[in-house]
Structure 1
């Protein structure tokens, strides 16, 4: 993809975000657009940075670490980890992330805190599982407030910012994100300033915005199809 094409994709996506926000009476400036670059080369992030992108997302620890190491001089970039986390990789993710979107259990929160307990607070979202499958990532909605309490009061180097979820397949995104908003309200009863909501991807960001999303995780609408991996 040429830089001209990339610029056009960014402009088109941002216009659609603007329209979606305005249609529900929200200020587009309160939204953070995160470009997810899974499987794309680090060079793409450099070009995105030249076009003004400052929030980049990765969902694999090895890829996040490698890209951040390869691009140490990109001023102002915030690196978001948006994938599932094995507890054994918490230290590496803590070292490479400015924000983690997928804290879903006490043990993981403890591992992220123990990785650098004296560091400035790491922004985290609490991931909510909106499916009936316990094998999927995320805490069940009924347990999210207890998780918030644990992180807020037992993990001083983590800062609970809000909630995150992926809309399940086969479910209307608006209904899924309404449930996420309810989970967010329960978290705010524990952490009043946890007002962020990470929701919405290329195909459902408009519904997420209508439900109150503050952080949108957009991949293919900007980057095009992911490269095929061997």
Structure 2
């Protein structure tokens, strides 16, 4: 996709976000766009950056590190790791990312905290909830999230910012909203003055409106910004 198309598509996504925010009666600017750039070439990220995008989501560590090296001159990019965590990758994730969106394991939490460079601020993390109970889906069971949150609160290299989920796709808005509402309700139960959990990372290209109506503060959008991912 040429740069002008990426800029135009990003503008269209921002317009959808604004319309949904207004529909929800929420303040303008209360929903951030994470441009999911996995499988996209560095040139596409440069084009989105030139259009004003600063937050980018990556799922594959080595691919992301290669891009970061090639885009090192763009020193204001905020890198979000949105893939599934693995113990043998936590050191590099802790060193090279600003956010992790899929934390669901106490061992991974400890490793990320211990491996976070002292020169960097604590790593922003969102705890992933598995609201469907499907074994194929990542995330912590809702009944276990309170314990994980308490463990993370003791780790100086982490800053728990909120919750995230990846619901099953649906074309019905009411069905789309159900898991997002459930995540918001869990946030409301778990939040404290010390850990307000002000971030709800939920919603993608096909359901961002439903997510925003239920309180999303970050939406992770790939296809609607960059178009279909390259097949090679």
TM band (smaller chain): over 0.9
More off after superposition, 32-41 vs 132-141? 132-141
- How far 1:189 moved relative to its partner? 3.7
The structure 1 residue matched to 2:196, chosen from 193, 198, 206, is: 193
More off after superposition, 75-84 vs 167-176? 167-176
2:55 aligned partner: 55
- Separation of aligned partners in 2, 1:78 and 1:223: 18
Aligned residues of 2:32 and 2:217 also touching (Cα < 8 A):
yes
Deviations 1:20-62 (A, max 9, x none): 1001101231111010011111111111111100111101111
Q: Is residue 129 from structure 1 mapped to residue 126 from structure 2 by the alignment?
A: no
Q: How many equivalent pairs are there?
A: 228
Aligned residues of 1:35 and 1:218 also touching (Cα < 8 A):
yes
2:11 aligned partner: 11
- How far 1:68 moved relative to its partner? 0.8
More off after superposition, 6-15 vs 195-204? 6-15
- Separation of aligned partners in 2, 1:224 and 1:103: 28
- Separation of aligned partners in 1, 2:205 and 2:194: 29
Q: Is residue 205 from structure 1 mapped to residue 208 from structure 2 by the alignment?
A: yes
- Separation of aligned partners in 2, 1:133 and 1:189: 29
2:142 aligned partner: 141
Q: TM (normalized to structure 2)?
A: 0.93
Q: TM (normalized to structure 1)?
A: 0.94
- How far 1:176 moved relative to its partner? 0.7
- Separation of aligned partners in 2, 1:5 and 1:91: 36
| 1:151 counterpart SS class | helix
2:221 aligned partner: 218
RMSD: 1.5
Aligned residues of 1:144 and 1:183 also touching (Cα < 8 A):
no
Where do 5+ consecutive residues of structure 2 fail to align?
none
